[in-house]
Amino acid sequence: MFVHMKFSTLLYSIILFTVLYGDGPFNVGFLDESDGLRNGPDYFGGALYYPTDAMGPLPSIAIVPGYLTYASSVEAWGPYLASYGIVTIIIGTNYLSDYPEERAYALLDALETIRQENSRQESPLNGNLDINKLSVGGWSMGGGGAQLAAMIDPTIKAIMAICPWLDNYSLNSADLNHDIPVLIFSGEYDDIAPPSAHADIHYSYTPISTPKLLFEIENGGHTIANNPSGEGGDVGEVANAWLQTYLVGDDSYCSQLLEVPSSASEYTTNIECDVFILGDINNDESLNILDVIILVNLILEDEYALSADLNSDGTVDVLDIIVLINIILIEIFNFTNSGSYL
């Protein structure tokens, strides 16, 4: 295996100066190979970020960088997604010049590391990973690799392709003929992977029956979505909503994906969402005492659900109970005075 000189020093410097907290409700922990994390033969160096206080089993994503770049170029996604309950392994490649095909197998090898971490006795994640909820992501050639990984492994639940690059001279629709939901970021003025030659083609070649979303960022370049804080947080919010919807399986996030961010120069999707009622935690299309009971249980178990965060402060607590009870009381009052339950 090719060894990148001073990689460990660089990685630890990043960790030292990076606060392991994202925008989400969970605290974040960190593991690497010095902690016993598997050393996968098809990638170089794994940095795994995980929520320390989220109830499992937890979903996961593997993310790989682009051509001639280190894992540090996409490292910010680790603590961010982990803070929203998604275990994230950031990997490098055995050779910086690896092409998308090698990056695809690197991602698949990283998913194997996730699976083995679920049974490693010394791991804080032992028995707490959902090995049926695995996803992949990448930037540039890594984004192209994520698309190819989905073609190889149809059990993958979701894809995040950041300014993806595949050889557009040989690419055809058969290369992206998969049914795995794919989120594609692109930069309006990306001169390395111009949207018209890459991201737009990825979207077009992905079957119409596959859930897909293209978010082109106004005035953006090739690195515009390497950090979830990009464009005032729009990048992270869309990515989290996509993964919560298609990886985690929480439909309450779906409606967020239909809201066009102000930073978008193009925003195209084929997805449809069921009607989402804030506070309808059990999804029975009404607000009642059952939702209150579930909300209390979420608080007691220190869990988070978007539909239960009625005051949108990023946490679920007694304030949300007060808001929910007030909404129910208002509906009862309206029903009593109008004869119809609103």
Joined tokens for residue 158: 């979701």
**Quick check: is 198 catalytic?**
no
By CB neighbour count within 10 A (0-12 exposed, 13-18 middle, 19+ buried), where does 171 fall? middle
* Residue 286 is among the residues annotated as catalytic for this protein: no
302 annotated active-site: no
For residue 125, the tally of other CB atoms under 10 A from its CB is 22
Q: Which of 281, 283, 317, 282 is nearest to 302 (CA)?
A: 317
Tokens of 333: 């009052």
Q: How far is CA 175 from the centre of its chain?
A: 23
Q: How far apart are CA 86 and CA 59, in angstroms?
A: 5
Distances (CA, A) of 64 to 165, 294, 306: 13, 38, 28
Catalytic member of 98, 222, 252, 307:
222
- The helix (H) or strand (E) run that includes residue 141 is helix 141-152
Query: Which one from 98, 109, 190, 291 is the annotated catalytic residue?
Result: 190
Q: Rounded to an integer, what distance in angstroms lies between the CA atom of residue 149 and that of residue 161?
A: 11
Residue 251 exposure: Cα atoms within 13 Å on the Cβ side: 12
- Cβ contact 176:214 at 8 Å: no
Task: State the catalytic residue, choosing from 72, 135, 140, 252.
Answer: 140
Nearest residue to 211 via CA among 158, 175, 150? 158
Q: How far is CA 193 from CA 147, 164, 280, in A?
A: 15, 7, 42
Classify burial at 273, counting beta carbons within 10 Å of its beta carbon; exposed 0-12, middle 13-18, buried 19 or more.
middle
Beta bridge partners of 31: 48
Looking at the annotation, which residues are catalytic? 140, 190, 222
